[in-house]
Amino acid sequence: DAGVTQSPTHLIKTRGQHVTLRCSPISGHKSVSWYQQVLGQGPQFIFQYYEKEERGRGNFPDRFSARQFPNYSSELNVNALLLGDSALYLCASSTQNREETQYFGPGTRLLVL
């Protein structure tokens, strides 16, 4: 079964660089959420998108931005990378904007040096 997919799986960047992470939701799912998971902690909510519109935003700086495309895939962009941005970035999809059950992708592990 085609679950949530994310690319790339791993990424190494240096401070000040920019990164783009990609996510494809489960077929039929229209909502995508992004989370940051620092080692040893629970996932922290970054954004939720539904029908290409931002529906929710967590407590992250403006360096973080995202968008959703007509096919419901999504990109997370992070500018001016800091060492503290090193984390596992998870994408989760759900069927509708009011459907709480979220299914996670495998994540992109970002290391900022």
Partner 1 sequence: GENVEQHPSTLSVQEGDSAVIKCTYSDSASNYFPWYKQELGKRPQLIIDIRSNVGEKKDQRIAVTLNKTAKHFSLHITETQPEDSAVYFCAASKGGYQKVTFGTGTKLQVIP
CB of residue 103 to partner 1, shortest distance in Å: 7
Listing DSSP states for 18-36 in one string gives -EEEEEEPPTT--EEEEEE
Three-class DSSP category at 50: strand
Closer of 19 and 49 to partner 1 (Cβ): 49
- E-assigned strand segments in the chain: 5-7, 10-13, 19-24, 31-37, 44-50, 53-57, 64-68, 74-78, 87-94, 103-104, 108-112
CB of residue 70 to partner 1, shortest distance in Å: 20
Closer of 16 and 61 to partner 1 (Cβ): 61
CB of residue 42 to partner 1, shortest distance in Å: 3
Closer of 75 and 88 to partner 1 (Cβ): 88
Closer of 92 and 112 to partner 1 (Cβ): 92
Return d(Cα 95, Cα 7) in angstroms, integer. Answer: 21
Beta-strand pair 10-13/108-112: parallel
Task: Kindly list the residues in this chain that would bind partner 1 in the complex (CB under 8 A).
Answer: 33, 40-45, 48, 50, 55-56, 58, 90, 97-98, 100-107
CB of residue 59 to partner 1, shortest distance in Å: 8
